[in-house]
């Protein structure tokens, strides 16, 4: 019978396997040597990778799926009209998020996908330093906390978080007043871990910045992260939005890489809140270049949400590439995108 192997045959098989293994190891050795030679020639590469980073005291104990605060938020969010998730489902979170390394390359901020090689990072960082508002560039630092993928550019620690935040705050300032003197009162819808909130309040500690989200774990992480950074930004739980987002409270609603990941029903719900609260401006950054489209369930077309914005009385005032004015950086920069600024009629 075929599957019964005699002693001689077994020895021959073992010798063959050993030979193949040592050949493979030889190739691997060579590959390692070649890689380190390449690194020597290219200079320093990625400074740190996400799970090589030490967590701050208490983080491991707090950032747990069974944390009572997280469980409470999850139960409060259930059944809410903004939570019919098509992308941000339980499976997606399990696959795309390591709770304790929420600043790693994950669902919040991609750092190793879409133009994220060494040269792309250097190019984007130098662009942000040159075109960013000088006070923003000067005031924002960076570190590797919670697994952010850091890179050294001429002695300065750089991440996608830093690059995006410099460019977004510069754009907001320009559209709002252009004088770098004060940010509008901001409602950040789909605020992730509180990235921009921390940046805005570092630049301008008096800024009134509120984060909100329809995903419980995002609310949970942003509460933790903003406290960790000692940011005065607020976090509003989803079930508080109705009562807290009211006329006269906010000047600008921000939605960065979020509506693109929501179904149209959730987007409509948020846009109703924005319009009813008479928020004057809306800043949207979609995932899909110049298209403002939702994410629907399997087999369903993505829906245009620009018409929904316009239907609620907003008109497009400015639309601009993230790496404006450079078309070359827009082509090769880290995660190129488009900025949309809407204003109430
Ligand atoms: C790619 S992350 C972007 C996070 C953040 N805006 C940033 O740029 O760092 C998408 C965000 O959208 C949020 N989100 C997903 N579905 C949402 C919904 N239905 N309503 C509001 N936010 C949602 C997620 O929880 C997450 O915070």
Cα–Cα distance, 210 to 189 (Å, whole number): 9
pLDDT of residue 98: 87
Residuewise pLDDT in 10s, the chain (345 residues): 333 333 444 344 344 444 333 333 333 333 333 334 334 333 333 444 555 688 999 999 999 999 999 999 999 999 999 999 999 999 999 888 889 999 988 889 988 877 888 899 999 999 999 999 999 999 999 999 999 989 899 999 999 999 999 999 999 999 999 887 889 999 999 999 999 999 999 999 999 999 999 999 999 999 999 999 999 999 999 999 999 999 999 999 999 999 999 999 999 999 999 999 999 999 999 999 999 999 998 888 999 999 999 999 999 999 999 999 999 999 999 999 999 999 999
Say if residues 104 and 98 touch (Cβ distance below 8 Å).
yes
Say if residues 277 and 189 touch (Cβ distance below 8 Å).
no
Q: Which two tokens stand for residue 55?
A: 């967590």
For residue 217, the ligand 1 atom closest to its alpha carbon is: 25
Cα–Cα distance, 325 to 331 (Å, whole number): 12
Residue 276 Cα to ligand 1 middle (Å): 21
Residue 173 CB coordination number (10 Å): 23
Q: Which CATH number applies to 52-344: 3.40.50.150, 1.10.10.10, 3.30.200.20, 3.20.20.10? A: 3.40.50.150
pTM, rounded to two decimals: 0.86
User: Residue length, the chain?
Assistant: 345
Cα–Cα distance, 92 to 96 (Å, whole number): 6
267 lines ligand 1 (CB under 6 A): no
Residue 192 Cα to ligand 1 middle (Å): 5
Three-state secondary-structure class, residue 290 = coil
Q: Strand runs (DSSP E) across the chain, as ranges?
A: 151-153, 156-158, 186-189, 209-212, 234-236, 252-256, 281-285, 314-321, 338-344
Q: What are phi and psi of 101, to 5 degrees?
A: -115, 55
215 lines ligand 1 (CB under 6 A): yes
261 lines ligand 1 (CB under 6 A): yes
Residue 194 Cα to ligand 1 middle (Å): 10
258 lines ligand 1 (CB under 6 A): yes
pLDDT of residue 50: 52
pLDDT of residue 115: 83
Residue 171 Cα to ligand 1 middle (Å): 20
Domain spans, the chain: 1-43, 52-344
pLDDT of residue 52: 66
pLDDT of residue 9: 40
Q: At what angle do helices 160-176 and 118-131 cross, to 10 degrees?
A: 30
- Three-class secondary structure assignment of 169-215: HHHHHHHHCCCCCCCCCEEEECCCCCHHHHHHHHHCCCCCEEEECCC
pLDDT of residue 198: 98
Question: Which residue's structure tokens are 């996908």?
Answer: 113
Say if residues 229 and 198 touch (Cβ distance below 8 Å).
yes
Three-state secondary-structure class, residue 335 = coil
pLDDT of residue 49: 52
Residue 15 burial (10 A CB sphere; 0-12, 13-18, 19+): exposed
Q: At what angle do helices 160-176 and 195-203 cross, to 10 degrees?
A: 60
Instruction: Give alpha helix (H) positions in 46-117.
Output: 59-62, 68-77, 90-96
For residue 218, the ligand 1 atom closest to its alpha carbon is: 25
167 lines ligand 1 (CB under 6 A): no
For residue 110, the ligand 1 atom closest to its alpha carbon is: 1
Q: At what angle do helices 216-228 and 68-77 cross, to 10 degrees?
A: 140
Cα–Cα distance, 91 to 99 (Å, whole number): 14
């Amino acid at each position: 019978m075929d599957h019964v192997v005699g002693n001689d045959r077994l020895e021959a098989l073992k010798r063959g396997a050993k030979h193949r293994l040592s050949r493979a190891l030889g190739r691997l050795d060579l590959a390692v040597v070649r890689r380190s030679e390449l690194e020597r020639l290219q200079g320093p590469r990625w400074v740190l990778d996400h799970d090589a980073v030490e967590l701050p005291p208490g983080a491991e104990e707090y950032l747990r799926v069974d944390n009572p605060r997280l469980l409470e938020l999850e139960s409060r969010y259930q059944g809410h009209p903004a939570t019919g998730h098509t992308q941000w489902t339980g499976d997606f979170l399990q696959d795309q998020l390591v709770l304790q390394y929420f600043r790693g390359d994950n669902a919040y901020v991609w750092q190793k996908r879409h133009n994220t090689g060494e040269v792309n990072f250097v190019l984007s960082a130098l662009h942000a330093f040159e075109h960013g508002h000088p006070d923003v560039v000067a005031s924002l630092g960076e570190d590797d906390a919670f697994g952010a993928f850091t890179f050294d550019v001429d002695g300065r620690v750089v991440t996608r978080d830093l690059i995006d935040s410099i460019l977004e705050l510069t754009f907001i300032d320009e559209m709002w007043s252009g004088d770098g003197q004060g940010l509008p009162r901001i409602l950040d819808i789909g605020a992730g871990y509180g990235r921009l909130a921390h940046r805005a309040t570092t630049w301008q500690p008096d800024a009134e910045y509120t984060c909100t989200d329809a995903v419980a774990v995002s609310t949970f992480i942003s509460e933790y992260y903003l406290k960790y950074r000692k940011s005065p930004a607020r976090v509003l739980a989803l079930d508080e939005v109705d009562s807290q987002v009211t006329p006269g409270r906010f000047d600008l609603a921000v939605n960065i890489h979020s509506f693109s990941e929501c179904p149209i029903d959730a987007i409509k719900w948020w846009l109703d809140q924005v319009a009813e609260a008479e928020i004057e401006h809306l800043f949207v950054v979609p995932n899909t270049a110049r298209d403002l489209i939702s994410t629907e369930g399997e087999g369903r077309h993505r829906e245009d949400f620009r018409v929904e914005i316009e239907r609620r009385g907003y008109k497009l005032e400015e639309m601009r590439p993230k790496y404006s004015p450079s078309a070359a950086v827009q082509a090769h920069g880290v995660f190129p995108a488009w900025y949309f600024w809407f204003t109430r009629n």
